[in-house]
């Protein structure tokens, strides 16, 4: 039996990497195709997780539109699918790559498995275009590997058959533990981590910041920057912000924050360096979905700069706080944590315990004929 894994962005690669390695140890023939929807960031992850793609479509282009990218993926994946004729295509999450590859496989009568299925906000522009990508992929997929009970219930409410839904936890926790195990080995050396050690001040509380969502372009990112400026006036904090390369983010952030005391702006960093940085942090401020999933396993509180999240489990469990992009709300939430947070009493991560990939492979071994 042949399985083809298809992905194109850094988050997809991170979350598919442990599944790839688990499949490699099974009786399946495993092939990997990357669209390179992200290029440099994708390559870093492939190298770290020791994955060599069988196909690299190399589709990233400067300033490409979503429609242009979608058309290129749909046309380019055709050759791979017709050449390999896999029994199953596995896609992940909510990217343009995932949806277009799933659609192409459906057109050719190839079964599709959707990893990290069932996440929903039911607001089609938040996040954009990810929310609709998820919903489209769910209508196409034959197997739905959900990370949480909430995601499972979403799919059941949409009328999908329960026998096609397999609740596994999220493979990102598998990837997180794999990464920690690797970077904490005595003989492991990573230049980015060594460089970060030189700027981390052990007598200050580290606030780690990320942001990239389209819905936060403009006023949202400006409000976040103002909140960081106010917070940076405290002598007991240091803020580190790996700034996304998108000019809608980068230009605003550097214009407002580059000369501020206690704020360090850095270029995007590799996944192992980012995991190391998360471990050193006291608070994480982000609009990222993956970080909301990873942080509970590290015992780090997350401030989510979005008005709605498709990952409500962390919020319900108290690991994350949804604040939107109101400057005053962000500042108050940060202050409360800096002054009062002493750790979580319960570190049971609602997104899994690190065995999602094994559960997916066990299911496929029993049910793929």
299-343: pLDDT as tens digits: 999 999 999 999 999 999 999 999 999 999 999 999 999 999 999
Told to judge if 130 belongs to the known catalytic residues of this protein, a careful annotator would answer: yes
Alpha carbon distances (Å) from 35 to 77, 119, 138: 8, 23, 20
Q: Cα(127)–Cα(314) distance, rounded to whole angstroms?
A: 18
**pLDDT of res. 369:** 66
Told to judge if 212 belongs to the known catalytic residues of this protein, a careful annotator would answer: yes
**pLDDT of res. 98:** 98
**Per annotation, catalytic residue among 56, 142, 192, 212:** 212
62-99: pLDDT as tens digits: 888 999 999 999 999 999 999 999 999 999 999 999 99
Burial of 164-176, coded b for 16+ CB within 10 Å and e otherwise, reads: ebbbbbbbbbbbb
pLDDT at 194 over 80: yes
Q: Cα(249)–Cα(108) distance, rounded to whole angstroms?
A: 39
Largest CA distance in the chain: 62
Question: What's the number of CA atoms in the CB half-sphere (13 Å) around residue 15?
Answer: 32
Q: Cα(46)–Cα(13) distance, rounded to whole angstroms?
A: 7
Q: Which two tokens stand for residue 232?
A: 């940076």
- State the pTM of this model: 0.93
Q: Which positions ≥6 away from 160 have C-beta within 8 Å?
A: 138, 144
pLDDT band (50, 70, 90) for residue 32? very high
User: Which has more confidence, 224 or 187?
Assistant: 224
Told to judge if 116 belongs to the known catalytic residues of this protein, a careful annotator would answer: yes
Q: Domains (ranges, CATH) in the chain?
A: 2-169+354-367 (3.40.50.2000), 189-340 (3.40.50.2000)
Q: Which positions ≥6 away from 324 have C-beta within 8 Å?
A: 305, 306, 307
Q: Cα(102)–Cα(132) distance, rounded to whole angstroms?
A: 14
**Per annotation, catalytic residue among 12, 22, 84, 94:** 94
211-264: pLDDT as tens digits: 887 787 889 999 999 999 999 999 999 999 999 888 888 999 999 999 999 999
**pLDDT of res. 202:** 78
**Per annotation, catalytic residue among 12, 22, 84, 116:** 116
Q: Which two tokens stand for residue 99?
A: 């949806």
| Mean predicted lDDT score pLDDT of the chain | 95
Told to judge if 29 belongs to the known catalytic residues of this protein, a careful annotator would answer: no
Q: Which two tokens stand for residue 265?
A: 């702006």
Q: Which positions ≥6 away from 332 have C-beta within 8 Å?
A: none
**pLDDT of res. 66:** 94
């Amino acid at each position: 039996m042949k399985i083809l894994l298809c992905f194109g962005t850094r988050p997809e690669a991170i979350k598919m990497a442990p599944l790839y390695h688990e499949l490699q140890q099974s009786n399946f023939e495993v092939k990997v195709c990357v669209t390179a929807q992200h290029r440099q960031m994708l390559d870093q992850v492939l190298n770290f997780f020791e994955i060599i793609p069988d196909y690299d479509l190399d589709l990233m282009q400067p300033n490409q539109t979503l429609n242009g990218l979608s058309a290129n993926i749909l046309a380019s994946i055709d050759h791979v699918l017709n050449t390999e004729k896999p029994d199953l295509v596995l896609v992940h999450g909510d990217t343009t790559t995932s949806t277009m590859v799933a659609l192409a496989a459906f057109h050719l009568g190839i079964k599709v498995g959707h990893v990290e299925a069932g996440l929903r906000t039911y607001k089609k522009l938040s996040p954009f275009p990810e929310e609709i990508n998820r919903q489209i992929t769910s209508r196409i997929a034959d197997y739905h590997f959900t990370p949480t009970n909430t995601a499972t219930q979403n799919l059941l409410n949409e009328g999908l058959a329960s026998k096609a839904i397999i609740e596994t936890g999220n493979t990102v926790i598998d990837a997180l533990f794999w990464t920690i195990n690797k970077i904490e080995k005595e003989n492991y050396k990573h230049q980015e981590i060594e460089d970060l050690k030189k700027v981390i001040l052990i007598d200050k509380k580290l606030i780690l910041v990320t942001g990239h969502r389209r819905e936060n372009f403009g006023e949202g990112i400006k409000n976040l920057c103002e909140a960081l400026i106010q917070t940076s006036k405290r002598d007991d904090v240091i803020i580190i912000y790996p700034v996304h390369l998108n000019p809608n983010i980068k230009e605003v952030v550097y214009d407002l924050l580059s000369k501020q005391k206690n704020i360090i702006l850095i270029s995007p960093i590799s996944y192992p360096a980012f995991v190391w940085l998360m471990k050193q942090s006291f608070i994480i401020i982000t609009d990222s979905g993956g970080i909301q999933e990873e942080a509970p396993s590290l015992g780090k509180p997350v401030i989510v700069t979005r008005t709605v999240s498709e990952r409500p489990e962390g919020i319900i469990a108290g690991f994350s706080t949804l604040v939107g992009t109101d400057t005053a709300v962000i500042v108050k939430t940060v202050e409360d944590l800096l002054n009062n947070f002493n750790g979580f009493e319960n570190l049971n991560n609602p997104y899994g315990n690190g065995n999602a990939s094994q559960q997916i492979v066990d299911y496929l071994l029993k049910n793929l004929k």
